[in-house]
A and B are shown apart, each in its own frame.
Chain A
Amino acid sequence: MQKIRLYVAILLGILVKFTLKLFGKDATSAPGKIAIKICPSIIKEIDKRSKLKILISGTNGKTTTNNIINWLIAGDKVVLSNLKGSNMANGIVSAFINNLRSSYDIVCFEVDEGSLPVVTRYLKPDIFVTTNVFRDQLDRYGELDRVKELILSHIGQALAIINADDPNLASFSGEKKVFYSVDENLLSRKTNVTLDSRFCPLCNAKLEYLFYNVGHLGKYECLMCGYKNPESRFVITNIREDSAGFVFDFVDRERDIHIENIKWKMGGVYNLYNVCAAISVAMLIGVEEKRIKERIETFENKLGRLEKKEVDSKKVIISLVKNPIGMSETLSVISNDPDPKAIVFILNDNAADGKDISWIWDADFDILCRIENIKALYFGGKRKEDMALRVKYSEYMLANFEFIDYKEELDKVFEQNDIQKVYILPTYTALFEVKKIVDSLSKRMG
């Protein structure tokens, strides 16, 4: 009976997939939704068909980390993954239906924190990667401490790959674990205004920091109980800036392996954490060092995280922003770019964006003052007025700006002649719409 139910679920899922494809719609979520309705334990089937199971969870960096891991292991292995960021149970089952096979060498899924209970109930990971815990959508997930508990309690029997620089995650008490970290670098800071986590997870005293890399990720120590970064097995070190991003060394301390001078094309220190986590996974499952170096150097992000396109001879950079740290880091990345530019902020408050937009007040918009050559600011989305107000209350002098209906008038932005680049910073529900619009503009204008 259960088997029949499963096959009906898969069949109907496939039907939904083809119907959507027929109408040119994206099938990253709907096929799974219907299949789960019919057979809630369908995720168990994914578990059964897979030799090695990897899950990735945390607040920021899941999609990028997942994409890098896939890029590192792609080729001779049969891999199933949700590369487009549909990371709830529906998305995971959709990935399965869209890429149906009787067995997989590796499944590698990013899982939304809120979906961990239902996913790990059926899918038992062998490797569980944690990225970080930041404040994100308090209306959905509640407090930081709860998110941390949620993640750590679902690692189960897996080998945990833990970010040693996140004081909350690093307190994980399980036995099967390895740590990774990113060394101090040119972009590390000694002080930090937007901190999500300031207290020792063990004794509640205030943590002292030697440096901060991203938000509360950095080198910390509790002077009260002695809690500090655990020794990392995998480290990104000797970090230098390159015109296109970073150059760094990756070290596996346990086996004394050094992969030197890896050229990494993405900006943002947070991406160093993502690539560190991904290489750690690759090392653990036996990808050769030479191949890792080659692959990392040719990795291109295709998913709205600082993605580059061109419209009307103007470069378009689209970067998803959905929480304070992400916004601050993205603005920091832009501040390294001297070219004349327009910046488009798009703020929606739909369920998938988080209905509470308070987070924009925790982001550091004073960074706008350090960005050279801003020719215009645009604000779009359901809560564009709030976004403009946030900028008005930063140190930046809000003078030259315009409200736009991004679904109808995005082309206006490219009409401005004195710019070479357009940065578009949308929240989640606007990301895919904006990408579509930019794609079609790029085709139209060449």
Chain B
Amino acid sequence: MNMFPEVLNLYGDRGNIICLQKRCAWRGIKANVFEYTLGADQEILKNADIILLGGASDREQSIVYSHLLKLKELIKSLIEDGLVVLAICGGYQLLGEAYIDASGRAIKGLHLLDFVTKAEGKRLIGNIIIETTLEVFPKTVVGYENHGGRTYHDYQPFGKVLKGYGNNGKDGFEGLIYKNVIGTYLHGPLLPKNPHIADFMLKKALERKYAFRALEFQELDDTLEYIAHNRVKELYM
């Protein structure tokens, strides 16, 4: 379920959908991509196996914000039930209690999780490499970050920052893991170059839906994916 793709699609977020869809197709798993648009019936969210929450510009984010608030309780119960969610940048920030902007004004988040994000100083921009806390191999996750907000929380981080800024540029951690929710600042096309994370999400979604065992999960030829993954490490580590 692609949430508000017409709004939350800042730079390359589409890459994540394409990646999940292709990796299912290559394995013969039928995957339907639904676009949850403004004014859609919230009941269809209950059928979702994976939810993608992307980032957006401030103006566009505020447009969908009021719509998302209506779904708060539903999303919360689905997350507690183990729904797989990838929340990136603005989507990640929205999961928290509030976003405190540069002038100190607090913009309320969905408060599905207990954390806040503050706008501080200059934007944190550049290639980023982290070592993830997830049970996957390889341990590294590569991407690009571009965010003004600093996030502070006590949840399990998505990873330890090896290169770049992460949540706040201070504590050395990036992102957040809660149940099957991944919140991260690695924006845009995170999954194609990190097929192990894509497959982690697919496995979790299949487990939840079909009590599926990981053994049945077909390996793909990811040579090109890891060439690209390793190239980022070589260039920017």
Contact = CB atoms under 8 A, between A and B. Distances in A.
Interface of A: 135, 138-139, 143-145, 195, 198-199, 204, 206, 355-362, 382-383, 385-386, 388-390, 392-394
6 contacts: A138-B11, A143-B10, A382-B235, A388-B224, A393-B19, A394-B18
A359 B146 CA distance: 13
Interface string B199-237: 000000000000000000000000011011001000100
Contact of A358 (B11, B38, B227): B11
Contacts of A392: 224
A359 B57 CA distance: 15
B55 to A, nearest CB: 10
Contacts of B19: 393
B11 A359 contact: yes
B224 A385 contact: yes
A393 B60 contact: no
Interface of B: 6-7, 10-15, 18-19, 22, 38, 57-60, 63, 125-127, 144, 146, 187-189, 192-193, 224-225, 227-228, 231, 235
Given A358-B11, A386-B231, 14 more contacts: A138-B10, A143-B10, A145-B58, A198-B7, A199-B7, A356-B125, A358-B188, A360-B12, A361-B12, A362-B12, A362-B14, A386-B228, A389-B193, A390-B15
Given A361-B18, A361-B189, A143 B12 contact: no
Contacts of B144: 355-358
A204 B57 CA distance: 13
A198 B35 CA distance: 15
A358 B187 contact: yes
* Prevailing SS type, chain B contact patch: mixed
Contacts of B192: 361, 389-390, 393
Given A206-B6, A361-B188, A362-B11, A389 B63 contact: no
Q: Which 9 A-B pairs have the closest CB atoms?
A: A358-B12, A361-B15, A358-B188, A361-B12, A385-B228, A143-B57, A361-B189, A385-B231, A358-B11
A198 B7 CA distance: 8
A206 B5 CA distance: 13
A213 B132 CA distance: 43
Contacts of A138: 10-11, 146
Nearest to B126: A355
Given A143-B58, A359-B11, A393 B18 contact: yes
Nearest to B22: A393
Contact of A389 (B38, B125, B228): B228
B15 A358 contact: yes
A393 B195 CA distance: 12
A146 to B, nearest CB: 8
